[in-house]
Amino acid sequence: MDQSQGNTSRVVGTYGYMSPEYAMHGKFSVKSDVYSFGVLVLEIISGKKNSSFYQPGYAQDLLSYAWNQWRDVKPLEFVDPTIRNSCSFNEVLRCMHLGLLCVQEAVDERPTMARAMLLLDVHSTVTPPVPKESAFFIRSTTGSNSFKKRR
């Protein structure tokens, strides 16, 4: 069946990697996987896991931290220190930009996977849109998990 979106009453997966619309409402689409891909891209760049990230004074989750570093034009501070001196600044910017686009809260603002691959191509002349601040993941002390929108 050629189905590009759907809805389920049973949500299964790992919080922090699930798109907000899936985790909160059971709605999924081809862009649900794009969200997860964006989380993985940001994890690779930073060398940190979203599911266990916490940095007091900076952010409660990896996506917030990535956004803050992007917004403050400090992308190299986001990069894993073990590769910081040997990586290409332009490649870091491209990957961080892509990761932030993939984790946009609004499904329509995320690229398709095909477009994401195009944006990774160093020879591409496609100019990606500017990412917006995404939803963030909250891990409560009661053990429940949820996504929240920043205000």
Q: What is the CATH number of the domain that holds 138?
A: 1.10.510.10
Domain range enclosing 87: 17-148
Does residue 7 fall inside a structural domain? no
Task: State the Cα–Cα distance between residues 80 and 46, nearest whole angstrom.
Answer: 4
Residue position matching structure tokens 């191509």:
121
Note whether residue 10 is domain-resident.
Answer: no
In this prediction, residue 45 has a pLDDT band, given cuts at 50, 70 and 90, of very high
- Report the distance separating Cα 3 and Cα 56, nearest Å: 42
Q: CB–CB of 145/137 below 8 Å?
A: yes
In the chain, the number of structural domains is 1
116-136: average pLDDT: 81
Q: Is 79 within the bounds of a domain?
A: yes
- Give the residue, 35 or 148, on which the prediction is more confident: 35
Residue 115 resides in a domain: yes
- Predicted TM-score (pTM) of the model is 0.77
Residue 11 lies in a domain: no
Q: Report yes or no on 67 lying in a domain.
A: yes
Alpha helices in the chain (DSSP H): 20-25, 30-46, 62-71, 75-78, 89-102, 113-120
Report yes or no on 5 lying in a domain.
no
Q: What is the pLDDT of residue 103?
A: 93
Here the tokens at position 138 are 């909250």
Residue 59 domain-assigned? yes
Separation CA 40–CA 17 (nearest Å): 8
Q: Is the predicted pLDDT of residue 65 greater than 50, yes or no?
A: yes
Which has more pLDDT, 110 or 30? 110
